[in-house]
């Protein structure tokens, strides 16, 4: 066999194995990345006006809790999520509805009548009756819902995604 | 830079020695039938990787197994591809391992000093069939259910201990959630552990003993 100065048989085989191996790796590897990430990239949005019942049933000056659930499909399963809000009627005309999700790390806050504060049990975040920060690690006041009143009934605008 | 990094690693890990021992070892003049062992090993690696990806979504429960696979097929990007590779790779692996065994048999490569390599190979063939048997139930569709009903029933025909074997396989008298989870556990943990370990022994012996030449008139 004459020696080629350009490409030996050995190097040719190495090159072919390298190229074919890379192609096969990419053909399997890239779809695998999409396979793992695709549920994370799916945007699910939901929006609804949730009825909270007649406004006059809520006392003035005292935050009152209200709970509702929303159902959606995650993967192959129905997920039922519970949501909690506090309805706070400042006076006859002004009503604020707070989400009970702590703005720190999403634990649920609880209204403490004795303290006149919302308290988060996870990292001791304190919020005032108007959702304002009193003390703790939370970056912003409690989130509020857009509200409307139709025929004496209170509604909140639920938006997700 | 790359050369420096490689030299540093090579000095500590002995990469060149590994390369020379594993890939640059002396082999007799052989033919394409001698590639079946490598093909089997690569198919096992492919099955292991695609199988790991499938467990990201698959749920081994009678209520959710079928639906979770439907989600893999229709709801996830390239789920059909990952499952397709695992599905076809499974059949290919059984075929390749069996052909590898036939080649070894017809070339009489199982003789001294390679008897133990042959024994590990036989166990590897049986565990590969075990992977096929346990994996077949996991989709939990009609075919899976009845194939496993029949398969465990066949195991139950062994004299005396048959009924015992049957109920051990099923985890009770019926095909149930207990059957599904034990087949799943055997499929993803127990058999792969055995196969992985035995492939290690098998390949070590191939490298240590070298491969036999194609028999000629003298043999």
pLDDT in tens, B97-122: 999 999 999 999 999 999 999 999 99
C-alpha A53 chain-centroid distance: 25
Alpha carbon distance A54, A151 (integer Å): 8
CB B83 within 8 A of CB B69: yes
CA distance A37 to chain B (A): 8
Question: Phi-psi category of B210—alpha, beta or left, where left has phi over 0 and alpha has psi -120 to 50?
Answer: left
Is a pLDDT exceeding 90 seen at residue B163?
yes
- Least CA distance to A14: which residue of chain B? B23
Q: How many Å lie between the alpha carbon of A14 and the closest alpha carbon of chain B?
A: 12
Q: Which of B163, B133, B160 is nearest to B148 (CA)?
A: B133
pTM of the model: 0.88
Beta strands across the sheet bearing A117-120:
A110-112, A117-120, A125-127, A133-135
**Distance in angstroms (rounded) separating the CA atoms of residues A26 and B36:** 24
Among the listed residues B46, B204, B70, B31, the one whose alpha carbon sits nearest the alpha carbon of residue A29: B46
Alpha helix locations (H) across B57-176? Answer: 65-74, 79-106, 115-137, 142-155, 162-170
pLDDT tens sequence for chain A (161 residues): 556 678 899 899 999 999 999 998 998 899 999 999 999 998 888 899 999 999 999 999 999 999 999 998 899 999 999 999 999 999 888 999 999 999 999 999 999 999 999 999 999 999 999 999 999 999 999 999 999 999 999 999 999 86
Nearest-CA distance from B145 to chain A in Å? 21
Residue B121: per-residue pLDDT: 98
Which residue of chain A has the CA closest to B42?
A21
Residues B198, B49: Cα–Cα separation, whole Å: 18
In this prediction, residue A3 carries a pLDDT of 60
Class of domain B32-209: mainly alpha
Q: For residue range B23-75, what is the model confidence (pLDDT) as tens digits?
A: 889 999 999 999 999 999 999 999 999 999 999 999 999 999 999 999 999 99
Separation of alpha carbons A31 and B92, rounded Å: 21
The verdict on a CB contact (< 8 Å) between A35 and B49 is no
- For B75, nearest residue in chain A (alpha carbons): A75
The pLDDT value recorded for residue B85 is 95
Domain residue extents for chain A: 1-42, 46-160
Sign of the Cα pseudo-torsion (A140, A98, A112, A95, in order): positive
Give the whole-angstrom CA distance, residue B83 versus residue B76: 11
Contacts of B53 in chain A (CB under 8 A): 32, 35-36
Local structure of residue B211 (DSSP, 8 states): P
- Residue B155 makes CB contacts below 8 A (sequence gap 6+) with B162, B165, B166, B169
In this prediction, residue B166 has a pLDDT band, given cuts at 50, 70 and 90, of very high
Q: State pLDDT tens for residues A45-78.
A: 889 999 999 999 999 999 999 999 999 889 999 9
Query: How far from the centroid of its chain's Cα atoms is residue B148's Cα?
Result: 19
Tokens coding B71: 């989600």
Phi-psi region of A124 (alpha: psi -120 to 50; beta: other; left: phi over 0): left
Pick B177 or A10 by higher pLDDT.
Answer: B177
Residue with tokens 């006006």: A49
Smallest CA-to-CA distance from B183 within B125, B144, B126 is with B144
Where are the domains positioned within chain B? 32-209
Q: What pLDDT was estimated at residue B208? A: 95
| pLDDT tens profile B117-146 | 999 999 999 999 999 999 999 999 999 999
How close is the nearest chain B Cα to the Cα of A48, in Å? 25
pLDDT at A101: 96
Which one of A35, A37, A41 makes the best mutation probe of the B interface by having the most chain B beta carbons within 10 Å?
Answer: A35
Give the right CATH number for A46-160 from 3.60.21.10, 2.102.10.10, 1.10.3720.10, 3.30.460.80: 2.102.10.10
| A39: chain B residues, CB-CB within 8 Å | 75-76
Helix B162-170 to helix B142-155 angle, to the nearest 10 degrees?
Answer: 150
What per-residue confidence (pLDDT) applies to A143? 96
Q: What is the DSSP string of chain A?
A: -PPPSS--HHHHHHHHHHHHHHHHHHHHHHHHHHHHHHHHH----EEEEEEEEEGGGSPBSS-EEEEEEEEEEETTEEEEEEEEEEEEE-SSS-EEEEE-B-TTTS-B-EEETTTTEEEETTTTEEE-TTS-EEESS-SSPPPEEEEEEETTEEEEEEEE-
| pLDDT of the residue at B20 | 93
B67 with A76: Cβ contact below 8 A: yes
With an 8 Å Cβ cutoff, the interface of chain B facing chain A consists of 46, 49, 53, 56-57, 64, 67-68, 70-71, 75-79, 81-82, 85
- Cβ–Cβ gap A75/B68 under 8 Å: yes
């Amino acid at each position: 066999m004459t020696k080629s100065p350009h490409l030996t048989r050995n190097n040719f085989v190495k090159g072919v194995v390298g190229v074919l191996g890379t192609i096969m790796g990419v053909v399997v590897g890239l779809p695998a990345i999409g396979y793992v990430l695709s549920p994370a990239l799916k945007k699910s949005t939901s929006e609804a006006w949730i009825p909270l019942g007649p406004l006059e049933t809520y006392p003035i000056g005292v935050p009152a809790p209200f709970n509702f659930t929303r159902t959606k499909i995650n993967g192959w399963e129905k997920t039922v999520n519970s949501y909690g809000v506090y309805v706070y009627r400042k006076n006859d005309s002004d009503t604020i509805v707070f989400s009970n999700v702590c703005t720190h790390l999403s634990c649920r806050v609880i209204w403490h009548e004795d303290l006149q504060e919302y308290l988060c049990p996870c990292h001791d975040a304190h919020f005032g009756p108007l959702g304002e920060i009193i003390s703790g690690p939370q970056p912003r006041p409690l989130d509020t819902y857009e509200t409307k009143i139709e025929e004496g009934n209170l509604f909140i605008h639920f938006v997700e995604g | 830079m790359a050369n420096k990094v490689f030299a540093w690693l090579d000095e500590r890990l002995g990469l060149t020695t590994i390369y020379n021992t594993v890939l640059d070892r002396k082999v007799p003049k052989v033919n394409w039938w001698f590639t079946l062992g490598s093909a089997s090993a690569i198919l096992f690696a492919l099955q292991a990787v695609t199988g790991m990806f499938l467990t990201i979504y698959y749920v081994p429960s009678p209520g959710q197994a079928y639906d979770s696979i439907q989600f893999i097929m229709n709801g996830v990007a390239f789920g059909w591809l990952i499952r397709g590779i695992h599905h076809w790779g499974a059949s290919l692996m059984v075929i390749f391992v069996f052909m590898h065994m036939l080649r070894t048999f017809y070339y009489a490569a199982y003789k001294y000093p390679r008897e133990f390599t042959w024994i590990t190979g036989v166990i590897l063939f049986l565990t590969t069939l075990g992977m096929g048997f346990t994996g077949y139930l996991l989709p939990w569709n009609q075919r899976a259910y009845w194939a496993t009903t029949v398969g465990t029933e066949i195991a139950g025909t062994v004299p005396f201990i048959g009924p015992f074997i049957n109920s051990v396989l099923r985890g009770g008298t019926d095909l149930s959630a207990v059957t599904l989870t034990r087949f799943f556990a055997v499929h993803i943990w127990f058999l792969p552990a055995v196969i992985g370990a035995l492939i290690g022994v098998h390949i070590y012996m191939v490298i240590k003993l070298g491969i036999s030449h194609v028999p000629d008139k003298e043999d």
